[in-house]
Structure 1
Amino acid sequence: MAINENNDTVIEKNAFMNVHFNLLYINDQNLMCDCDVMWFVYVRHDKPFRTQGGKCSKNNKTLSELVPRDFDCIDNVASIRSCNVSQSVDLSCEYNYLTTNLTRWIHSRSGILIREMNIDFVDKDTNTLHFSFCDHDDSGEYTCMLETDYSLLPSINISVHLIVNGLPVVLNRHTEEKGDDLILSVMFYSIPYDFIIEWLQGPDNLNEDPQYSILVNNMTVKLKQYNVDVTTDGFISNLTIHNFRRRPSDVYSCRISNVYEEVVEQFILGPATLELERRAYCDTSNSIELNCTLQLVGATPVSWIHSIAGETIRSLQGRHVNTSNILTIPFCNSQDTGDYTCRWKTDILGQTIMEKSTTLSVSGPPFFISQFTTVDGGDTVFSVTFFSKPYPNDPRWYFNNEPVALGAKFQQTTSYTIVQIRQHRVLVNVEGFISNLTVHKAAYGLYKCVILNSFGEVKHLFVIKQEHNTFSISTTEATTSSETTENSVTVIIAISSSVLGVVIVVICIIIFIRRISPKTSDKYNSTMPTR
Structure 2
Amino acid sequence: MQIITSNSSNNIYANEGSEIEVGCEVDCGNPPGTLDWVRDEYIVLKTKTCHNTTFISTRIKSSRSDHMTTLTCIANNSYDQLEMNITIYLNLLPQVHMRAEPSSVLEEESKLTIFCITETNTFPVNIQWLFEGNIIQEENSDVLYIDKVNRNQFGQYSCRATNRVGSGQANINITVRYKPYLQKNESNPKLFEAVINYPTHVDVMIQSFPRPECSWTDTNGGKLAIIKVAEIRADVFAVSSTIMLQKESQFGLYGIRARNLYGSIDIKINLVSRVVSIHPLHISCNVSSTIELECFLTINDSSNWKSLWLHSIKGNKLEERPGITLGNKSTLTIAFCDYRDIGDYTCTWSSQNKIYSSTHQATVAVFGSPILASRNVYRQTGESVLLRVKFYSVPEPISIVWLENDKRLHLNRSSLMRTIVAFKISNTEVIVDGFSSNLLLEEPISYDNQFSCQVTNEYGYMDVLFEERMLIGSIKDGNTITKIVQTTTLSKSNTSSLKPAGYTDEPTHTSTGTLTNDQIYIVICGVVLVILFIVVTVFIKNQIRINQIHKRADRQTVVPVVSLQYQERERSSDLPDLPQRNIENPEYEEIHSIPIEVETEEYLTPEHDSSKSGSDSSIERQYLELGPPHTYEEISLSRRELHVYSTGGDMHE
**Under a length normalisation based on structure 1, what TM-score does the superposition of the two structures give?**
0.52
- The match for 1:342 among 342, 347, 355 is 347
Q: Which has the higher contact order (CA 8 A, sep 6+)?
A: 1
CA apart distance, 1:364? 2.3
Q: How does 1:429-448 map to 2 (within 5 A)?
A: 429-445=431-447, 446-448=449-451
Q: Following the alignment from structure 2 to structure 1, what is the Cα–Cα distance between the partners of residues 404 and 198? A: 68
Q: Tell me the equivalent position of 2:406.
A: 401
- The match for 1:144 among 153, 158, 173 is 158
Q: Tell me the equivalent position of 1:390.
A: 395
For the 8 Å contact 1:369–1:385, the answer to whether it is kept is yes
For the 8 Å contact 1:418–1:429, the answer to whether it is kept is yes
Q: Following the alignment from structure 1 to structure 2, what is the Cα–Cα distance between the partners of residues 212 and 289? A: 30
Q: Following the alignment from structure 1 to structure 2, what is the Cα–Cα distance between the partners of residues 262 and 463? A: 55
For the 8 Å contact 2:255–2:266, the answer to whether it is kept is yes
Q: Tell me the equivalent position of 1:357.
A: 361
Higher normalized strand content (fraction of residues): 1
Q: Following the alignment from structure 2 to structure 1, what is the Cα–Cα distance between the partners of residues 397 and 454? A: 7
Q: Which moved more, 1:439-448 or 1:257-266?
A: 257-266
Q: Give 2:435's aligned amino acid.
A: F
CA apart distance, 1:461? 0.7
Q: Which runs of 5+ in 1 are unaligned?
A: 1-41, 47-71, 108-115, 200-205, 224-229, 476-531
| Partner deviation per Cα, 1:13-46 (whole Å, 9 max, x = no partner) | xxxxxxxxxxxxxxxxxxxxxxxxxxxxx99xx9
Secondary structure of 1:376 counterpart: coil
| Partner deviation per Cα, 1:125-169 (whole Å, 9 max, x = no partner) | 549699xx99x9x676335376999xxxx9743223468986555
- The match for 1:269 among 268, 273, 295 is 273
For the 8 Å contact 2:414–2:440, the answer to whether it is kept is yes
Q: Following the alignment from structure 2 to structure 1, what is the Cα–Cα distance between the partners of residues 161 and 405? A: 34
Q: Tell me the equivalent position of 2:379.
A: 374
CA apart distance, 1:355? 5.4
- The match for 1:284 among 275, 281, 287 is 287
Q: Does 1:453 align with 2:467?
A: no
Secondary structure of 2:429 counterpart: strand
Q: Give 2:424's aligned amino acid.
A: R
Q: Does 1:424 align with 2:449?
A: no
Q: Tell me the equivalent position of 2:301.
A: 298
Q: Tell me the equivalent position of 1:170.
A: 186
| Partner deviation per Cα, 1:308-331 (whole Å, 9 max, x = no partner) | 223322211121245542212222
Q: Following the alignment from structure 1 to structure 2, what is the Cα–Cα distance between the partners of residues 278 and 75? A: 45
Q: Following the alignment from structure 1 to structure 2, what is the Cα–Cα distance between the partners of residues 101 and 380? A: 32
Q: Give 2:247's aligned amino acid.
A: R
| Partner deviation per Cα, 1:170-189 (whole Å, 9 max, x = no partner) | 398766768x5765634332
For the 8 Å contact 1:148–1:156, the answer to whether it is kept is no
Q: Does 1:94 align with 2:97?
A: no
Secondary structure of 1:341 counterpart: strand
For the 8 Å contact 2:402–2:451, the answer to whether it is kept is yes
CA apart distance, 1:234? 3.1
Q: Following the alignment from structure 2 to structure 1, what is the Cα–Cα distance between the partners of residues 210 and 464? A: 40
Secondary structure of 2:420 counterpart: strand
For the 8 Å contact 1:144–1:157, the answer to whether it is kept is yes
Structure 2 vs 1, CA of residues 448 and 181 (structure 1 numbering), >3 Å: closer, same or farther?
Answer: same
- The match for 2:324 among 319, 323, 328 is 319
Structure 2 vs 1, CA of residues 317 and 471 (structure 1 numbering), >3 Å: closer, same or farther?
Answer: closer
Structure 2 vs 1, CA of residues 186 and 82 (structure 1 numbering), >3 Å: closer, same or farther?
Answer: same
CA apart distance, 1:221? 6.6
Structure 2 vs 1, CA of residues 388 and 221 (structure 1 numbering), >3 Å: closer, same or farther?
Answer: same
Q: Give 2:433's aligned amino acid.
A: E
Q: Following the alignment from structure 1 to structure 2, what is the Cα–Cα distance between the partners of residues 155 and 302? A: 58
CA apart distance, 1:190? 4.8
Structure 2 vs 1, CA of residues 217 and 402 (structure 1 numbering), >3 Å: closer, same or farther?
Answer: same
Q: Tell me the equivalent position of 2:202.
A: 185
For the 8 Å contact 1:465–1:473, the answer to whether it is kept is no
| Partner deviation per Cα, 1:70-98 (whole Å, 9 max, x = no partner) | xx9899999357879xxxx9995734568
CA apart distance, 1:264? 6.5
Q: Following the alignment from structure 2 to structure 1, what is the Cα–Cα distance between the partners of residues 171 and 427? A: 49
CA apart distance, 1:252? 2.6
Q: Following the alignment from structure 2 to structure 1, what is the Cα–Cα distance between the partners of residues 395 and 228? A: 28
Q: Following the alignment from structure 1 to structure 2, what is the Cα–Cα distance between the partners of residues 464 and 401? A: 18
Q: Following the alignment from structure 2 to structure 1, what is the Cα–Cα distance between the partners of residues 438 and 206? A: 36
Greater radius of gyration (CA)? 2
Secondary structure of 1:389 counterpart: coil
Q: Following the alignment from structure 2 to structure 1, what is the Cα–Cα distance between the partners of residues 428 and 107? A: 38
For the 8 Å contact 1:395–1:449, the answer to whether it is kept is no
Q: Following the alignment from structure 2 to structure 1, what is the Cα–Cα distance between the partners of residues 375 and 471? A: 24
CA apart distance, 1:385? 2.1
Q: Following the alignment from structure 1 to structure 2, what is the Cα–Cα distance between the partners of residues 400 and 269? A: 60
Q: Tell me the equivalent position of 2:104.
A: 79
Secondary structure of 2:340 counterpart: helix
Q: Which runs of 5+ in 2 are unaligned?
A: 1-64, 70-95, 480-653
| Partner deviation per Cα, 1:329-366 (whole Å, 9 max, x = no partner) | 22211111112233445x77333444553321112232
Q: Following the alignment from structure 2 to structure 1, what is the Cα–Cα distance between the partners of residues 375 and 264? A: 32
Q: Give 2:420's aligned amino acid.
A: I
Q: Tell me the equivalent position of 2:495.
A: none
Structure 2 vs 1, CA of residues 368 and 310 (structure 1 numbering), >3 Å: closer, same or farther?
Answer: closer
Q: How does 1:40-59 map to 2 (within 5 A)?
A: none
Secondary structure of 1:94 counterpart: strand
Q: How does 1:249-268 map to 2 (within 5 A)?
A: 252-253=252-253, 266-268=270-272
For the 8 Å contact 1:303–1:317, the answer to whether it is kept is yes
Secondary structure of 1:365 counterpart: coil
Q: Give 2:204's aligned amino acid.
A: M
- The match for 1:123 among 139, 150, 155 is 139
Q: Tell me the equivalent position of 2:218.
A: 207
**Under a length normalisation based on structure 2, what TM-score does the superposition of the two structures give?**
0.44
Q: Tell me the equivalent position of 2:19.
A: none
CA apart distance, 1:421? 1.9
Q: Following the alignment from structure 1 to structure 2, what is the Cα–Cα distance between the partners of residues 255 and 245? A: 19
Q: Following the alignment from structure 2 to structure 1, what is the Cα–Cα distance between the partners of residues 331 and 211? A: 38
Structure 2 vs 1, CA of residues 464 and 376 (structure 1 numbering), >3 Å: closer, same or farther?
Answer: farther
